[in-house]
Structure 1
Amino acid sequence: MASVRSLSDVPEEYDADTDNTTIAFGMPSARSSATHIARRTSSLRSLAASASDVYPPSASGSTTPSSLAPPDVIPQPQPSAQPSRSSLRRATSTTSTINGSASPGLPGSSGPTLGSSSSNRQPSSSSRHAHVRDRGDVHIPRMRSTPRLVYEKDAETAPSTGMYWSRAPVYGAIPNRTMRAHSVTVVDNVVWLFGGCDERESWKDVYCLDVETMQWTHPECLGDHPPPSRAHSATLVDRKIVFIGGGHGSTYYDSVYILDTLSRKWTKPTIAPGQTPPQRRAHTAVLYGSKIWVFGGGNGMMALADVWTLDVSALVQYGPYGYGYGSHAGQSSYSGTGGGAYGGGAGAGAGSGAVSGSGSGKSITMKWELIETKGVKKPGPRGYHTANLIGNIMVVIGGSDGKDSFDELWTLDLDTLIWIQIKTNMPYKRLAHSSTQVGSYLFIFGGHDSTEYTSELVLLNLVSLQYEARTVYGKVPTPRGYHAAVVADSRLFLIGGFNGLQSFDDVHVLDLAASAYLPQVTSFAIEALVP
């Protein structure tokens, strides 16, 4: 098995022109649409050419090619027991960028960083078209007035009790770009998507997906808007999303921004004097009590293994009308891929955060604190791992230091600050995967194993902290990493991603079927940690 040579070699980008493969992941090429119009109506050729550079493709569908992929792009469906011990080691994609000309996904100690301009990268046609229609850093969505049902004529019948993958029939103000290393956060059955990048650049757009209607919207957000960002963390605190770190090109951030999902207003809080964490991206963040716990990532020179807390009690205490909401479970991830880390909240008055202006949120002060952890062994530096909060335990899976991807499973008790490494029943090397809590399980999908991207789904039993195989039916998403996954309405939603050649804009849904009760399982103990 090939290993990652350095921190700069973790896969993220690849020199490839994907003009002819755009429709394979559900975004019809705007260039193809314009060409189609020109061929059919020669008298309108000049008008069609100019319109294709300014306006989104027609929502009527008359000039839009089919969104179904050709048979040689998407593999034939077949139910499979996922994963077996051997299948976790088996390659599921023919794409390998480790020893190629891939730009890094994790900040490195040498060589170019993700998004560097050192290679003559050819963006996909959809990325080029989106770039032409940008107004500054604001992206114009592609409109689709009605849902487009995905007809999989070769999909096999599945039992009613079996978990089933399918493409979501989304419509509305659809993001007119592909996306990876973005963040997603669920608030009242609405998925809030921020940032990410395609083959060309990073974005600062906010999109919302209603998981009941499958409708995309592109809300206008006011206030102190953050710059374009990818590989940041997003943590939900009382219907406000706290974004930490991230980066754009070779720039890394140490900033904190807050998006109020009720008022749709951005705020940049004041950071109290004292120690602050270095700039970073590809880290994870979870909410426990009145603090956000940040672990790992990279700062452009090396991978990190430090633990910091950010006091967000100001957000817990005060709502937009001057009173508190009470406590909410936090949902956080690295750039969305840690998806669904749920933790308990703290009562009002905890912590040292402060807010002035009678709770108006106009002036919020937050304080960072470096945490000294303990343990016989501690995890090494890493990024592109996942972290999920289970009670008072942070569960960390995989990641990479740039030399290799890890199959390690770690727990950090946020009360005692003790790290413990868990011995699992099978090796599972992964970076840039997603890990989403569904009751007493973590659903882990995709990622990279230092050799290839995968589309495998594996479940981690949170009681025993051991992996389990499950049979999954339907059209499994193509191999990918740097995607985002969340649970909403008893279904797992998977959005975007990257396979080493191209990034995606698709939305896949895993119907939990007989396992739909799992999100309601909230009372359990991690027995593997009981002395």
Structure 2
Amino acid sequence: DSAMELVARERSGHAALMEGGFLHVWGGYVAVGDEEVFLPSDEIWLYDTESGIWVMHKMQGEIPPPMSGTCGCSLDGVMYIFGGCDDHGHTNQLYSVNLLDGKYTWRKVTKAAGTPPSPRDKLSCWVHNYRLIYFGGYGHKRLREISNSRSFIVDEASWVEEVFWGWNNEVHVFDSRANKWSEPSTRGLAPAPRAAHSSATVGNKGYVCGGRVVETRRSDIHCLDLDSWTWTEIIPTSAVPVGRSWHTLTAVSDSALFLFGGLSVNCEPLSDGWIFNIQTREWKELNHQHKNKPRLWHTASLGQESDVIVFGGSQDYILLVDKGHCNDALVFQTQPYSLHRLCEDYIGRNAKTLQGHLSLVPPKLRQTIQKRISFFRIAARSQANRNVMSINFIA
């Protein structure tokens, strides 16, 4: 029991998504001394959300460079990553890898028709009808590429000769079946150009929330109809969360979005969780057990029974401190659990007391219960280790 479990390295700005019952974690960076170090791009970490056990797989094929701020999404068991920042700066390359065939072979998407987005990071993506639909981000363009000041705001602090950095509100579509890029013409009032925002897909609607808009951070919500390409700003009927960037937004049902963490307008790391009801347009703060664990530039993925699995990120304002990268997986319960799940978790938590009765459980169910026992044992040990570290720190 005292053996060290294999755990994915702490990181921020990584890609993570659920597929086949596992959270898959790739890339990102960590601070080593005063250096920002990109994590290896030829490995992918799998987290079993039922047992709490990590496994690492080596990757092969056309491996992307190590980077952070890339945009990861899943389509039919294939992870696509686009954009990001590597050792040479911002990129606009698209890569894919099948997460379900056990081979983990990267493929660089080449010979695609149309024009890809300009190099950028901290963008977001919706998946709908075999299309990857990218929105926003921070990156650079040449003067001749800036056609519209409403879709690209120049960061005055950073332009160099003919190259301009800035925020955008562009919508770019990659059709995975036609291997083609396009830029649809949208209608309605588009959100202000932004980066480090969050997004979620519900049916044929893409939602975007908050992010860094030039010198401020917002918590506004906009919706893009992914069939008609019409933008609508959603005006909440309740009090709204404080403006933020580097947060996450996760669709937890057909009518609810879960927002967590980020960096506030005042540059404070946040640990609040909120549920937004799409139908009533109402924000409601969620009472949860991770209030002492602020996170920014983390990832959030939908698990079983509307659980949200938050992994990694930083607990500090990374532009100032950049030491507080994390590697724990936080589970947020956003809906009531089924009786079946409550029983499994009760047995998992009280395994010592109920040990003598486990042989009476049907074999298939016993497998699941063993996973839950493992999950709560690992969680308890991690908590004990954190307590010891905190006592040593105080001492």
Aligned to 2:273: 457
Deviation at 1:516, TM superposition (A): 5.8
**CA shift at 1:216, angstroms?**
0.6
1:234 is aligned with what amino acid?
Answer: G
Superposition deviation, residue 252 in structure 1: 0.7
Structure 2 residue corresponding to 1:411, chosen from 194, 216, 223: 223
AA aligned opposite 2:282: Q
Residue 187 of structure 2 corresponds to: 374
Distance 2:338 2:225 in 1: 29
Secondary structure of 2:274 counterpart: strand
From 23, 27, 51, give the equivalent of 1:191: 23
Distance 1:511 1:274 in 2: 42
2:139 to 283, 293, 299: 299
Kept after mapping to 2: 8 A contact 1:477/1:508: no
Give the structure 2 partner of residue 443 of structure 1.
Answer: 258
| Equivalent position amino acid for 1:286 in 2 | W
Whole-Å separation in 1 of the counterparts to 2:67 and 2:87: 9
What residue number does 2:308 align with?
492
Q: Which has the higher helix share?
A: 2
Deviation at 1:383, TM superposition (A): 0.6
Q: Structure 1: which amino acid aligns with 2:126?
A: V
Contact 1:271 1:368 in 2 (8 A): no
Within the candidate set 112, 128, 131, 1:272 is matched to 112
Segment drifting more, 379-388 vs 198-207: 198-207
Look up the SS of the partner of 2:80 in the other structure. strand
Q: Deviations over 1:379-423 (max 9, x none)?
A: 111011111111111111001123100121101111111111111
Which one scores higher on RCO, CA 8 angstroms, separation ≥ 6? 1
Matches within 5 A, 1:285-324: 285-300=125-140, 301-313=165-177
The residue correspondences of 1:53-72 to structure 2 (distance < 5 A) are 60=2
> Against the structure 1 CA distance between its residues 242 and 460, is the aligned structure 2 distance closer, same or farther, given a 3 Å change threshold?
same
Aligned counterpart for 1:225 among listed residues 63, 66, 71: 63
SS of aligned partner of 2:246: coil
Give the 3 Å change call, closer, same or farther, for CA 506–306 of structure 1 in structure 2. same
Q: Distance in 2 between matches of 1:252 and 1:206?
A: 22
Partner of 1:482: 297
Percent identity over paired residues:
23
Q: Secondary structure at the match of 2:262?
A: coil
Q: Which residue does 1:236 correspond to in 2? A: 74
1:268–1:466 distance in 2 versus 1, CA, 3 Å = same
Cα deviation for residue 373 of structure 1 reads: 0.6
Give the equivalent residue in structure 2 for 1:432: 246
Distance 1:488 1:308, change over 3 A: same
Deviation for aligned residue 1:272: 2.5
Q: Name the residue aligned to 1:85.
A: none
Which amino acid in 2 is paired with 1:455? S
CA shift digits 1:251-278 (9 cap, x unpaired): 1111011111113111112233432210
**d(CA) in 2 for partners of 1:449, 1:505:** 22
Which residue is 2:147 aligned to?
none
Superposed CA offset, 1:267-309 (max 9, x none): 1122334322101110011111021100000114001111000
Please, which runs of 5 or more residues in structure 2 have no aligned partner? 141-164, 340-395
Which residue of 298, 323, 326 corresponds with 1:504?
326
Q: CA offsets, 1:464-493, max 9 Å, x none?
A: 222113333x34352121111112122221
CA change 1:470–1:276 in 2 (3 A) is closer
**What letter matches 2:38 in structure 1?**
S
CA contact (8 A) 1:431 1:448 kept: yes
Query: 1:243 Cα shift?
Result: 0.7
Partner of 1:275, secondary structure, is coil
Structure 1 counterpart of 2:123, from 259, 283, 299: 283
CA–CA distance in 2 between the matches of 1:475 and 1:233?
26
Q: Distance in 1 between matches of 2:82 and 2:185?
A: 20
Matches within 5 A, 1:86-105: none
Q: Is the 8 A contact 1:189 1:211 kept in 2?
A: yes
The amino acid across from 1:181 in the alignment is: G
CA distance in 2, matches of 1:217, 1:477: 27
Q: 1:475 to 1:395 in 2, by over 3 A?
A: closer
Residue type of the alignment partner of 1:201:
V
- Relative to 1, partners in 2 of residues 1:418 and 1:201: Cα closer, same or farther, differing over 3 Å? same
5+ residue gaps, structure 1: 1-58, 62-143, 145-170, 314-352, 354-365, 518-531
Aligned 8 A contact 1:394 1:414 in 2:
yes
- Using the TM superposition, give the Cα deviation of residue 510 of structure 1 relative to its aligned residue in structure 2, in angstroms: 2.2
Cα 1:457–1:253, aligned 2, differ >3 Å: closer, same or farther? Answer: same
How big is the shift at 1:512? Answer: 4.5
- C-alpha change, 1:297 and 1:516, in structure 2 (3 Å) is farther
Larger strand proportion, structure 1 or 2? 2
1:101 alignment partner in structure 2: none
Residue matched to 2:336: 514
Q: Give the match's secondary structure for 2:215.
A: coil
Structure 2 contact 252–334 (Cα < 8 Å) conserved? no
Q: Out of 34, 38, 45, which is 1:202 matched to? A: 38
TM-score with structure 2 setting the length: 0.71
Q: CA deviation at 1:250?
A: 5.9
**2:356: which partner in 1?**
none
Q: Judge conservation of contact 1:247–1:280 (CA < 8 Å) in 2.
A: yes
Residues 210 and 296 of structure 1: CA distance in aligned 2, closer, same or farther (over 3 Å): same
